[in-house]
Amino acid sequence: MKVTSKKSVNTIAYKNYKEDYNKLAEKVLLELNSTGYVVIKNFEERTNLEETKAKFLELSKIIGTPIGHDVNNKIIWDIKYNSTSNSFIKTYSEHSHEAELHTDSQYSKYPEDYFNLLTLKKANCGGGISYILKLEDILKDLRGLKKGKEIESILRETNYPFIVPNVFKKDKSNKPSFNFGPILRDNEIRFRIDTFEKAIKLKPNLVTEEQITAYNELKTIILNNSETESFYLEEGDLIFINNKTTLHGRSLFTDEKRHLLRIRLNKIPHN
């Protein structure tokens, strides 16, 4: 994947807000709605794991409404290599190879608005580098294509299939399960290469040739975008990402002790 951007990482110093989570949450929400992501530096201060999780959840609840990951409604999810997984469809949180740019829960009926990742143990092999790409940069390149308007219309107006990873299925059998939705909406994107391409490999008749052509054009733009940001999350760093406007990914890593925590969030409704 092409990663050439030299932009500085969008960060917040936790020490400036640690006494007031409401102000910190206000700042995070501002960045989520403008920049699309923000990294809180040194959020985890080497307390015990349960204290860390409690602090992590406390801040998350001010920013959004936590939602469950699986049939057991697990709120805090471990992102670490799982050598025992025998899932037919694995998710990125279970393996250690490259996670190409994507949005989370694209296989869900309603993907969450935000999510966060707290780094407990970074990969000491030099891998696990984070990637970020904004929807606005994708659309700029898409609309610059000769048939960009036509391609964008297909991506907005037709439903694409995404296969559900086994670990997130309500039915724990290996029988494939699919959800459908447009890749683009107003100020929203739903995108992941493997869950879409595995879906059409199993059932090619779920999409038209026009849809595949439009998808391939978008995929090329995403994987070769010069605006992709890359940076290394240090231990204790907490990143919040707008899941509707920002794609994320990571490079391959070989350190199987790498460990992050994730919470998925929906916007808090305001009357």
Q: What is the pLDDT at residue 95?
A: 58
Share of the chain above pLDDT 70, in %: 87
Q: What is the pLDDT at residue 177?
A: 83
Distance CA 80, CA 86 (A): 15
Mean pLDDT of 198-223: 97
User: What confidence category does residue 108 fall into, taking pLDDT thresholds of 50, 70 and 90?
Assistant: confident
Q: Pick from 106, 16, 113: which is nearest to 60 by CA?
A: 113
Whether the pLDDT of residue 256 is over 60: the answer is yes
Share of the chain above pLDDT 90, in %: 72
Q: What is the pLDDT at residue 165?
A: 75
Distance CA 111, CA 106 (A): 6
Provide the H-helix boundaries in 129-245: 135-142, 148-157, 193-202, 209-223
CB-hemisphere CA count at 13 Å for 191?
Answer: 31
Distance CA 188, CA 205 (A): 26
Helix (H) or strand (E) holding 180: strand 178-181
Q: What is the pLDDT at residue 42?
A: 94
Alpha carbon of 40 to those of 21, 56, 233, 241: distances in Å? 12, 12, 10, 11
Q: What is the pLDDT at residue 26?
A: 97
Q: What is the pLDDT at residue 116?
A: 97
Q: What is the pLDDT at residue 269?
A: 80
Alpha carbon of 215 to those of 121, 151, 199, 242: distances in Å? 35, 8, 13, 22
Mean pLDDT of the chain: 89
Mean pLDDT of 196-220: 96
124 or 71, which is more confident: 124
pLDDT tens track for 17-26: 999 999 999 9
pLDDT tens track for 137-188: 999 999 999 999 999 999 999 999 999 876 655 666 667 888 999 999 999 9
Quote the tokens at residue 3. Answer: 């990663």
Buried b (16+ CB within 10 A) or exposed e, 193-224: bbbbebbbeeeeebbeeebbebbebbbebbbe
Q: What is the pLDDT at residue 88?
A: 47
Please name each of the domains of the chain with its CATH number: 11-266 (3.60.130.10)
Distance CA 123, CA 127 (A): 6
User: What confidence category does residue 86 fall into, taking pLDDT thresholds of 50, 70 and 90?
Assistant: low
pLDDT tens track for 38-69: 999 999 876 789 999 999 999 999 999 999 87
Measured at the alpha carbon of residue 242, what is the angle toward residues 17 and 240, in degrees to the nearest 5? 35
